[in-house]
């Protein structure tokens, strides 16, 4: 790997008490090109502009996938990565679906470790702090023929972060637009999935909702995800979440929450959930809590769900599964609770 370090850190210009998610970037970035049918020698260089011509394939056809992962500082000033193998596997799963060559494990892991170790001071110790890591792959041929690119770039950038949402989460059930259809790319972290979600989200924002609940593409009757998160419902003392399918992203936080909930002796059920079932549970007083999970948000309580003329409101301030699970997850991520599943790894 070729490494060029920056002459001067930008750390002192950053106000860590006022971080807006995804707007501040650490000193270095990782980059590796796929040309002539193979991944080339990777490099780490100071974070900064990259140059390309307007014919860059990804700008025209969106052949691009990404990951979201996090590193945390423990109290001994060590940086812990959370479930990096899972992100690696999912990135390659997404890559295959978008006809992008898979990244060799060595390139991903060595690049990740070296990058985070160089920028470890950007990862702060403290209850809400983490370093958000964004690995991404994109088509980099200069060619506007509508076919798969021959050249690609794999990059990793990192961004210090605190909380993702600092407002209540009021959701509306989306019955017109669709996030993902069967046989499509919903299970992949394809850039285009997010692009397609912005307009429906903007429409929901105009009506006073922060995010939408995505439903199935054919009848809009079954719940899939909310915003960029997997969604969870507490019905009585049971947690239910939509089962994974080709229209639902297989969240690593989702998977971790299933394990942690079962550890806390909470029954977890993965199944198809209809909106009518949810409404009935709410009307009979059994739908107690709703929350979303994702890397960026960890666990985020939902304040309300609107479905047509029905408003369902939730209070996560008392006896909350969401908050108990969030605490357990974050304690493991920060090395404050024993990591019996071997989810964390130190950056050296």
Residues that bind ligand COI (CB under 6 A): 68, 194, 228, 294-296
The two tokens of residue 120 are 């470890």
Nearer to ligand COI, 82 or 152 (CB): 82
Shortest distance, position 300 Cβ to ligand COI, whole Å? 10
Q: Give the whole-angstrom CA distance, residue 97 versus residue 185.
A: 7
Q: Residue 53, class by beta-carbon neighbours within 10 Å (0-12 exposed, 13-18 middle, 19+ buried)?
A: exposed
CB atoms within 10 A of CB 311: 11
Alpha helices (H) along 98-153: 105-118
Give the helix/strand (H/E) hosting 333.
Answer: helix 321-333
Backbone angles phi, psi at 141, to 5 degrees: -65, 150
Shortest distance, position 50 Cβ to ligand COI, whole Å? 21
Nearer to ligand COI, 141 or 228 (CB): 228
Nearer to ligand COI, 52 or 164 (CB): 164
Contact 246, 224 (CB under 8 A): no
Shortest distance, position 22 Cβ to ligand COI, whole Å? 7
Shortest distance, position 191 Cβ to ligand COI, whole Å? 10
Shortest distance, position 292 Cβ to ligand COI, whole Å? 10
Nearer to ligand COI, 227 or 278 (CB): 227
Shortest distance, position 188 Cβ to ligand COI, whole Å? 12
Tell me how many degrees the CA angle 138-144-146 measures, rounded to the nearest 5. 85
Backbone angles phi, psi at 337, to 5 degrees: -135, 150
Spacing of C-alpha 160 from chain mean position: 15
Nearer to ligand COI, 295 or 344 (CB): 295
- Which residue number places its CB atom closest to ligand COI? 68
Nearer to ligand COI, 39 or 165 (CB): 165
């Amino acid at each position: 790997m070729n490494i060029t370090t920056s002459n001067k850190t930008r750390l002192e210009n950053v106000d860590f008490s006022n971080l807006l998610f995804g707007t501040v970037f650490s000193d270095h970035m990782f980059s590796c090109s796929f040309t002539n049918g193979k991944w080339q020698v990777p490099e780490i260089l100071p974070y900064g502009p990259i140059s390309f011509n307007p014919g860059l394939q990804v700008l025209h056809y969106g052949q691009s996938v990404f990951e979201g992962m996090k590193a945390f500082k423990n109290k001994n000033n060590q940086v812990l990565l959370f479930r990096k193998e899972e992100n690696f596997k999912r990135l390659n799963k997404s890559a295959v679906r978008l006809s992008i060559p898979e990244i060799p494990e060595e390139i991903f892991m060595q690049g990740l470790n070296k990058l985070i170790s160089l920028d470890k001071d950007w990862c702060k110790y403290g209850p809400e702090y983490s370093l958000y890591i964004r690995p991404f792959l994109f088509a980099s041929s200069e060619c506007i023929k509508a076919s798969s690119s021959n050249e690609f770039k794999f990059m990793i950038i990192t961004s210090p972060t605190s909380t993702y949402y600092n407002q209540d989460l009021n959701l509306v059930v989306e019955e017109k637009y669709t996030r993902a259809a069967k046989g499509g790319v919903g299970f992949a972290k394809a850039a285009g999935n997010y692009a397609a979600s912005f307009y429906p989200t903007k429409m929901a924002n105009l009506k006073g909702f922060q995010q939408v609940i995505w439903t199935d593409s054919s009848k809009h009757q079954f719940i899939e995800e909310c915003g960029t998160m997997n969604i969870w419902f507490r019905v009585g003392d049971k947690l239910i979440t939509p089962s994974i399918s080709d229209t639902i992203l297989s969240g690593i936080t989702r998977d971790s929450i299933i394990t942690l909930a079962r550890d806390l002796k909470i029954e977890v059920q993965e199944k198809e959930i209809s909106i009518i079932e949810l409404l009935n549970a709410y009307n009979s007083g059994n739908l107690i809590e709703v929350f979303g999970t994702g890397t960026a948000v960890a666990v985020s309580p939902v304040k309300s769900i609107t479905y047509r003329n029905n408003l369902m409101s939730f209070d996560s301030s008392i006896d909350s599964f969401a908050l108990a699970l969030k605490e357990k997850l974050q304690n493991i991520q920060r090395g404050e609770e024993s990591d019996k599943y071997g989810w964390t790894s130190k950056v050296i």
